[in-house]
Structure 1
């Protein structure tokens, strides 16, 4: 595979999943670890990604306040607008982090009166702009890669919450494998968020459909709403039409 083809592949993985691991790229591309490290360094030097220990992060994943760097921003805004009717006054809502959730928060009604628990400092900052929204940031260890708090202390706090709705972005979703991720700590965190909520909504750009990563978070049966930028009747969504899942 030519270097440009490798670079294109890496950037697609970055844009879809927000981060990549060097070890995964070595297996997927069947090249040496040194080759991947050089590729990531070159892409970082070009300003296309942020190189971190063990892999790389999307630039948009770290630049939450710079709209110009958000991948598929128009699709995420459409997803956010479709999600708004699920959020009602008086609700207790639990959110993850990521650019899809940030775009959702920006679309909230100005007079919304609700309580939000979040594991993302960036989401908390956006929520703080709403005068009638109570914002509770769940503290703990901070993941430099995922930009959220994590760990046993965070999970213990989550399990004390009884939220009406959990809002999560996703790295990958698949009809058979369900919701998946790559990071063990973040995986446990998301599972706790599901357990702490009456209903769960997954915000997902269509490019992430039919993709699967190493660690399972939840099956489709555990998800109440799947929200993409596609028309809910789109053929691409047919494999996700299970009894308990509403597609928006």
Structure 2
């Protein structure tokens, strides 16, 4: 594979999954980890990604309010629009982090009066702009990679609430492996969020379908709805219908 092809592949994987690991890229691209590190350095120097220990992350994690940095923004707005349909007045709602959750927070109408809990300071700031919402930011250690709060303190607090519904993003969705991620601490928090909620909704751009990361959050049986940016009656989603409700 030519260098330009490698760089394009890396950017595409970061855009889709938000984070990539050097070891995984080495296998996928069939090159040494030294070559991957040089590629990541070049992409970082050109301002296209942010290099972190063991890999790289999307710039949208660090610059979520910069419209030009958000990958598939229109698709994420469509997902958020569908998710709003599940929210009812008076609900207690738990939300994760990420750019799709920020779009969801921005779209909640002032006619809805709900209580929100979130592990994302960035999502909390967006929710706080809506005067009809009671917003609670769960305290914990801030992960620089995910821009969400993680750790035992977060998990303990999650065990003390019983939200009506939980909205979560994901790095991978597949029939075989379910909902997956690449960050161990994030996985533990997501498990606790799912356990606390009466219903769980996964929000995912369609490009993440049929993809898996190294760490499992839960099986598809553990979630209630899967919301993507494509028609729920489309062929790509039909095989998921027996496991989850589609929007």
Task: Report what 2:234 is aligned to.
Answer: 234
* Aligned residue number for residue 246 of structure 2: 247
- In structure 2, list runs of 5 or more residues that go unmatched: none
State the partner residue of 2:43. Answer: 43
- Structure 1 CA distance for aligned equivalents of residues 229 and 192 of structure 2: 27
Shift of 1:233: 0.4
Q: 1:22: Cα distance to partner?
A: 1.4
Instruction: Give SS of 1:240's match.
Output: coil
Q: Within 2, Cα distance between the matches of 1:89 and 1:185?
A: 32
Deviation of 1:68 after TM superposition, in Å, equals 1.6
1:206 aligns with 206
Which of 27-36 and 6-15 deviates more? 27-36
1:150 is aligned to: 150
- Distance in 2 of aligned mates of 1:82 and 1:183: 27
Alignment partner, residue 196 of structure 1: 196
Superposition deviation, residue 115 in structure 1: 0.5
Aligned 8 A contact 1:111 1:131 in 2: no
In 2, distance between residues paired with 1:7 and 1:45? 13
Residue 189 of structure 1, CA deviation: 0.7
- 1:112 partnered with 2:80: no
Q: CA deviation at 1:120?
A: 0.3
How far apart, in 1, do the equivalents of 2:143 and 2:23 lie? Answer: 19
How many angstroms apart in 2 are the aligned matches of 1:187 and 1:149?
Answer: 12
Residue of structure 2 in register with 1:52 after alignment = 52
- Residue 29 of structure 1 and its aligned partner are, at CA, apart by 1.8
- Aligned-partner SS, 1:147: coil
| Residue equivalent to 1:71 | 71
Runs of 4+ in 1 over 2 A off after TM superposition: none
CA displacement at 1:27 relative to structure 2: 2.1
3-state SS of paired residue (1:207): helix
Deviation at 1:157, TM superposition (A): 0.5
Q: State how far apart, in whole Å, the 1-side matches of 2:135 and 2:31 are.
A: 46
- What are the Cα deviations for residues 182-205 of structure 1, in whole angstroms up to 9, with x where unaligned? 111111110000000000011111
Q: Relative to structure 2, which stretch is displaced further, 50-59 or 149-158?
A: 50-59
How many residues are paired up?
Answer: 247
**Unaligned regions of 5+ residues in structure 1, if any?**
none
Q: CA deviation at 1:227?
A: 0.5
- C-alpha separation between the residues in 1 aligned to 2:198 and 2:228? 21
Distance 2:183 2:19 in 1: 10
Deviation, structure 1 residue 61: 2.1
**Quick check: 1:112–1:130 contact (8 Å CA) kept in 2?**
no
